[in-house]
Amino acid sequence: DAGVIQSPRHEVTEMGQEVTLRCKPISGHNSLFWYRQTMMRGLELLIYFNNNVPIDDSGMPEDRFSAKMPNASFSTLKIQPSEPRDSAVYFCASSFQASGGEETQYFGPGTRLLVL
Amino acid sequence: GQNIDQPTEMTATEGAIVQINCTYQTSGFNGLFWYQQHAGEAPTFLSYNVLDGLEEKGRFSSFLSRSKGYSYLLLKELQMKDSASYLCATDQTGANNLFFGTGTRLTVIP
């Protein structure tokens, strides 16, 4: 299994530009999570999907952030317009949710975003 | 509400034993995860405890006390490669998202 795949691995952009981060979850997993990690705030959940449906987006910082999951094998996180304070590592994770069962999340390698 | 407390940093000697503590307040608590994260890498799953007690996996063990809202990760025979951040996370009944603590950065010295 290839694990969770994220692209790009690194992104440097200028303030005001649109940034799109991509994620391919592990095949067969039905839940997908977007996290942001910074030194100051640690690992923060932004949004998660279950069976391609957004369940909780309360962690999305503001309207500049949006996420989609058009099918079971692909998700995007978009920032438009980007700001320097968005600089962070963005992780995608996936899990298989079974009723009452353990829901171990498996993380992708992350996208390191730097907004100048 | 949810809250997780872990020490920010710890240092231990190669070959020794170290215990990393985690206390939590989580409504609808279901279970507790430990993840390891090396610098510049993604978090990787170490353990998951639902029942009270100690679970051992090789050099790593994890303990949970539900009544005390307390867990610890025990690392034995420390190796230099164990230098990493260790993240405590909780999940809730009926929800499949995790809430992470800020992590404990462990440095293993010779």
Tokens linked to A104: 């171990």
> Using a CB-CB distance cutoff of 8 angstroms, which residues of chain B are in contact with residue A91?
42-43
Summarised one tens digit per residue, pLDDT across range A30-87 is 999 999 999 888 899 999 999 999 998 888 988 999 999 999 999 999 999 999 999 9
CA distance B6 to A34: 23
Cβ neighbours of residue B61 closer than 8 Å, sequence gap 6 or more: B54, B55, B73, B74, B76
For residue B3, is pLDDT > 80?
yes
Please answer yes or no on whether B96 and A108 come within 8 Å at the CB atom.
Answer: no
Summarised one tens digit per residue, pLDDT across range B57-91 is 999 999 999 999 999 999 999 999 999 999 999 98
State how beta strands A10-13 and A111-115 pair.
parallel
Q: Is A34 on the interface with B (CB under 8 A)?
A: no
CA distance B109 to B82: 10
Please answer yes or no on whether B45 and A105 come within 8 Å at the CB atom.
Answer: yes
CA distance A57 to A37: 16
Tokens 């405590």 belong to residue = B88
| Interface mutation vs chain A, best among B8, B22, B29, B97, most A CBs within 10 Å | B97
Residue B41: band (very low, low, confident or very high) from pLDDT cuts 50, 70, 90 = very high
Q: Quick one: closest CA in B to A31, which residue?
A: B96
